[in-house]
């Protein structure tokens, strides 16, 4: 099988590449053509996953396909954008038909659940790496930036945190999933491998949230980005941070809380919003939780129930550090 047969077989014919709303031309020409609805902007974001850095060399291909797309689409959700299309730059050590079939199926499963179509890409030989570029549409005046947080706004997260970070020893095979009771291992692995981009929430927050992002590097690190871009301080009440049940089961309260604060990969949204908008928001999205507030100052501050600062040893993951 040569490069073009591979593309044809595993990507052009895959379920995720069968067109979609606002895709005028998909895979096969020099460029794809996307239609951006009148008055909207094209939101674009890229994520790369490298074998041995972002996932273990023997990671299951289906799950990898799911996750590679989910982490990229999550950036569209964080902007309030509606997905249109994505491209896939894949570097493969060899042509392994079973692997490619499973990868393409995982990619398609996530693509269908997010309403996004594969419109092109690039296929090369080398150490396994996956680059996904997503494109969507968003009204530019309402797009959810990191820079709009206002003193007095509340700080919210879209759901429980810490499960994906708690899953890492399982993903790396350092802990045997059969040693765990109930469906704890299943829940943790699902959080890691198939995070659900918060697209509906992101779109709902257009014109409502003053700032937003998706939590990829850890709550504290990512809230730091909003604080810096908005020139404010985000104060987090530690007791209000929703810790994922499966992480609590596996690790106990203290270590699970560390995962929720500093672990990454959950892809929930963190956002700031006027206090008056929260009640109605929570009616539509019951898992949204208020975890703190925006105050004047800089950086991120974690406080106890008495408002006393709690020192945080680990803040989040950074390449090259």
The site for ligand ADP (CB under 6 A) is made up of 7, 11, 27-30, 88, 90, 118, 120-123
Q: Cα separation of 3 and 168, whole Å? A: 34
Q: Among Mg ion, ligand ADP, none, what binds residue 212 when CB lies within 5 to 8 Å by partner kind?
A: none
Q: Among Mg ion, ligand ADP, none, what binds residue 30 when CB lies within 5 to 8 Å by partner kind?
A: ligand ADP
Q: Which residue is nearest to Mg ion (CB)?
A: 122
Of the pair 30, 57, the CB lying nearest ligand ADP is at 30
Of the pair 63, 88, the CB lying nearest Mg ion is at 88
Smallest gap, in angstroms, from Cβ of residue 81 to ligand ADP? 21
For the chain, what is the HEC assignment? CCHHHHHHHHHHCCHHHCCCCCEEECECECCCEECCCCCCEEEEEEEEEEECCCECCCCCHHHHHHHHHHHHHHHHHHHCCEEEEEEEEEEECCCCHHHHHHHHHHHHHHHHHHCCEEEEEEEEECCCEEEEEEEEEECCCCCCCCCCCCCCCEEEECCCECHHHHHHHHHCCCCCHHHCCCCHHHHHHHHHHCCCCCHHHHHHCCCCEEEEEECCCCHHHHHHHHHHHHCCEEEEEHHHCCECHHHHHHHCHHHHHHHHHHCCCCCCEEEEECHHHHHHHHHHCCCCEEEEEEECCCEEEEECCCCCECCCCCCCCCCCC
Smallest gap, in angstroms, from Cβ of residue 12 to ligand ADP? 7
Residue 290: phi and psi, rounded to 5, are -80, 125
Q: Among ligand ADP, Mg ion, none, what binds residue 11 when CB lies within 5 to 8 Å by partner kind?
A: ligand ADP
Contacts with Mg ion, 103-132, as mask; x by CB under 5 A: -------------------x----------
Of the pair 32, 236, the CB lying nearest Mg ion is at 32
Total binding residues toward Mg ion, as defined by CB under 5 A: 1
Of the pair 120, 148, the CB lying nearest ligand ADP is at 120
Q: Cα separation of 230 and 228, whole Å? A: 5
Q: Cα separation of 140 and 81, whole Å? A: 10
Smallest gap, in angstroms, from Cβ of residue 90 to ligand ADP? 5
Smallest gap, in angstroms, from Cβ of residue 123 to Mg ion? 7
Of the pair 14, 230, the CB lying nearest ligand ADP is at 14
Q: Among ligand ADP, Mg ion, none, what binds residue 5 when CB lies within 5 to 8 Å by partner kind?
A: none
Q: Cα separation of 268 and 276, whole Å? A: 22
Of the pair 94, 276, the CB lying nearest ligand ADP is at 94
Smallest gap, in angstroms, from Cβ of residue 136 to ligand ADP? 18
Smallest gap, in angstroms, from Cβ of residue 27 to ligand ADP? 4
Of the pair 107, 149, the CB lying nearest ligand ADP is at 107
Smallest gap, in angstroms, from Cβ of residue 23 to ligand ADP? 13
Smallest gap, in angstroms, from Cβ of residue 30 to ligand ADP? 5
Of the pair 3, 183, the CB lying nearest Mg ion is at 3
For residues 250 and 166, is the Cβ–Cβ distance under 8 A?
Answer: yes
Query: Which residues of this chain interact with Mg ion, rule CB under 5 A?
Result: 122
């Amino acid at each position: 099988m040569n490069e073009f047969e591979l593309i044809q077989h595993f990507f052009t014919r895959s379920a995720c590449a069968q067109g979609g709303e606002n895709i005028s031309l998909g895979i096969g020409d020099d460029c794809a053509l996307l239609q951006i609805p009148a008055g909207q902007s094209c939101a674009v974001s890229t994520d790369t996953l490298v074998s041995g850095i972002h996932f273990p060399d023997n990671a299951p291909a289906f799950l990898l396909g799911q996750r590679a797309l989910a982490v990229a689409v999550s950036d569209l959700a964080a902007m309030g954008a509606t997905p249109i299309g994505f491209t896939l730059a894949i570097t493969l050590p060899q042509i392994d038909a079973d692997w490619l079939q499973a990868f393409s199926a995982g990619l398609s499963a996530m693509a269908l659940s997010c309403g996004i179509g594969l419109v092109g890409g690039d296929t090369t030989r080398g150490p396994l790496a996956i680059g996904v570029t997503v494109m969507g549409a968003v009204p530019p005046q309402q797009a959810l930036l990191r820079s709009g947080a206002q003193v007095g706004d509340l700080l919210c997260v879209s759901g429980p945190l810490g499960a994906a970070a708690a899953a890492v020893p399982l993903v790396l095979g350092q802990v045997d999933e059969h040693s765990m009771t109930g469906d704890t291992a299943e829940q943790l692995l699902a959080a890691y491998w198939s995070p659900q981009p918060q697209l509906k929430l992101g779109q709902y927050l257009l014109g409502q949230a003053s700032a937003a992002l998706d939590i990829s590097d850890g709550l504290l690190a990512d809230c730091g980005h909003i604080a810096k871009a908005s020139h404010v301080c985000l104060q987090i009440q530690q007791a209000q941070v929703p810790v994922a049940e499966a992480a609590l089961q596996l690790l106990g309260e203290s270590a699970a809380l560390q995962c929720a604060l500093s672990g990454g990969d959950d892809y929930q949204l963190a956002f700031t919003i006027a206090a008056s908008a929260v009640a109605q928001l929570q009616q539509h999205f019951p898992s949204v939780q208020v975890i703190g507030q925006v105050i004047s100052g800089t950086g991120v501050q974690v406080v106890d129930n008495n408002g006393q600062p709690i020192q945080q040893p680990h803040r989040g993951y950074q390449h090259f550090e």
